């Protein structure tokens, strides 16, 4: 079945074949067959790879101009039927597309479906011949300007995400709008985005019945970041974080601890070496706490928040105020050093103890 890898009239599949071919050793060959008959239907393509010893494997291809995460189950089921009907050695399912979002790729991996997008995101595997290829490409769609904006940037989006995470469904548009202090129309637009991303389940024109809070935090962190969305400044507490904590207990300052310090009393990995505090005014707070500005060797970050939502649903522990765990996880995911791994540990704890931090919406 091996054929020339130049596929006229099918630019996405052709480019995907070229992308895959570039990832393989020179001794491997790649070919393609368009519109092959599989059972009583036509698949979009077969991509065949041939190892140096002559062993051949086949990828059954479903081509998408765009794949929303919510559509992955239907696509995976279709590919599964093709694989089951394939006449010959077992094939592996693959989606090819101009671009696949991180959420779509995650959903495909969960369903055992490989993917190749034209920005360089690749994950394909075969048992015979033994083959595994994984590579990273773009995290945002280079064609983004060609379609309506899809973003969770800004204070209003942050408040909606926080409310969806902090309060367990069911929750309606107007109820969530009231909690997030935004208009119902804005909530509806965000819901449309989140439904496409398969992050919420919603009754038709009704309330949200389920929300993937972990996925929501990850998706929000694509548009929100601790250092990019908040104004931050670095300081030194010469006597260490223990002295800072004692000062905070005796202070009337409005603050909320986040980052490693914020998660240390819930899911500690190692002792916190950097304190991150949300404060209204970094300069004033530094003066009250006796901190010294420091470009190098800082052990305190003061962050003027993107929105007062960071002070919503604070946790209190041994006289210290901490951000809500949903906020803490997002800050760790987008923070420096071991922050992302600490975020995963924190979210594991949150998953196992959901009743301890997530309130009922109604």
Give the pLDDT of residue 330.
98
For the chain, percent helix, then strand, then coil, each to nearest 5? 40, 25, 40
Whole-structure pTM value: 0.71
Question: In terms of C-beta distances under 8 Å and separation of at least 24 residues, what long-range contacts does 332-337 make, across chains too?
Answer: 332/258, 332/259, 332/260, 332/263, 333/217, 333/218, 333/221, 334/221, 334/224, 334/225, 334/226, 334/227, 334/228, 335/226, 335/227, 335/259, 335/260, 335/276, 336/227, 336/274, 337/274
Q: What is the mean pLDDT of each run of 10 residues along the chain (362 residues)?
A: 43 86 90 82 88 92 91 92 74 93 94 94 92 92 57 92 96 93 90 92 88 96 94 95 96 96 86 94 95 92 96 95 98 93 96 93 57
- Identify the H or E element spanning 40: none
Q: Are 240 and 299 in contact (CB under 8 A)?
A: yes
- DSSP letters spanning 257-274: EEHHHHHTTTS-SS----
Give the pLDDT of residue 362.
56
Strands 359-360 and 167-168, by their bridges, are parallel
Fold designation for 11-135: Trna Endonuclease; Chain: A, domain 1 (3.40.1350)
Give the pLDDT of residue 91.
86
Show me where the domains of the chain are located: 11-135, 155-220, 226-360
- DSSP letters spanning 88-120: SSPEEEEEEES---HHHHHHHHHTT-EEEETTS
Distance CA 204, CA 126 (A): 40
Architecture of domain 155-220: Orthogonal Bundle (1.10)
Residue 247 in 3-state DSSP?
helix
- DSSP letters spanning 117-160: ETTS-EEEEETTTTEEEEE---SS-TTGGGS------SHHHHHH
Give the pLDDT of residue 333.
96
Distance CA 240, CA 232 (A): 19
The Cβ of residue 295 has, within 10 Å, a number of other Cβ atoms equal to: 7
> What single-letter DSSP state applies at residue 51?
-
Give the pLDDT of residue 144.
60
pLDDT tens, 291-333?
999 988 999 999 999 999 999 999 999 999 999 999 999 999 9
CA-based end-to-end distance of the chain: 60
Residue matched to tokens 């809070």? 213
Q: For the domain bounded by 226-360, which CATH number is listed? A: 3.30.460
Give the pLDDT of residue 148.
39
Dihedral sign from CA coordinates of 320, 326, 330, 332: positive
């Amino acid at each position: 079945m091996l054929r020339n890898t130049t596929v006229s009239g099918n630019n996405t599949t052709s480019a995907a074949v070229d992308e895959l071919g570039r990832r393989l050793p020179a001794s491997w060959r790649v070919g393609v067959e368009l519109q092959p008959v599989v059972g009583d239907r036509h698949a979009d393509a077969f991509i065949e790879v041939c190892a140096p010893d002559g062993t051949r494997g086949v990828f059954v291809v479903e081509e998408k101009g765009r794949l929303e995460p919510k559509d992955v189950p239907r696509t995976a089921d279709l590919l599964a039927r093709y694989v089951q009907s394939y006449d010959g050695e077992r094939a592996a399912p693959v989606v090819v597309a101009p671009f696949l979002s991180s959420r779509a790729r995650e959903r495909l991996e969960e369903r055992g479906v490989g993917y190749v997008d034209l920005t360089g995101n690749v994950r394909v595997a075969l048992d015979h011949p033994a083959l595994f290829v994984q590579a990273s490409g773009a995290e945002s769609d280079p064609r983004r300007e060609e379609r309506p904006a899809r973003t969770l940037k800004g204070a209003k989006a942050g408040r909606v995400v926080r409310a969806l995470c902090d309060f367990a469904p069911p929750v309606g548009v107007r109820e969530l709008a009231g909690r997030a202090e935004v208009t119902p129309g804005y909530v509806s637009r965000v819901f449309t985005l989140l439904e496409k991303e398969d992050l919420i389940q919603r009754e038709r024109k009704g309330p949200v019945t389920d929300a993937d809070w972990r996925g929501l935090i990850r998706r929000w962190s694509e548009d929100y970041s601790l250092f990019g969305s908040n104004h931050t400044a670095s300081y030194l507490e010469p006597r260490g974080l223990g002295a800072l904590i004692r000062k905070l207990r005796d202070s009337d300052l409005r603050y909320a601890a986040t980052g490693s310090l914020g998660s240390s009393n819930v899911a500690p990995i190692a002792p916190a070496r950097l304190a991150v505090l949300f404060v209204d005014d970094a300069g004033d707070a530094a003066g009250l706490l006796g901190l010294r500005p420091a470009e190098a060797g800082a052990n305190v970050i003061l962050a003027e928040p993107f929105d007062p939502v960071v002070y919503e649903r604070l946790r209190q522990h041994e006289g210290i105020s901490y951000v809500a765990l949903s906020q803490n996880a997002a800050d760790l995911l987008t923070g420096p050093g071991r922050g992302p791994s600490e975020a995963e540990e924190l979210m594991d704890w949150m998953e196992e103890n959901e009743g301890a931090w997530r309130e009922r919406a109604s």
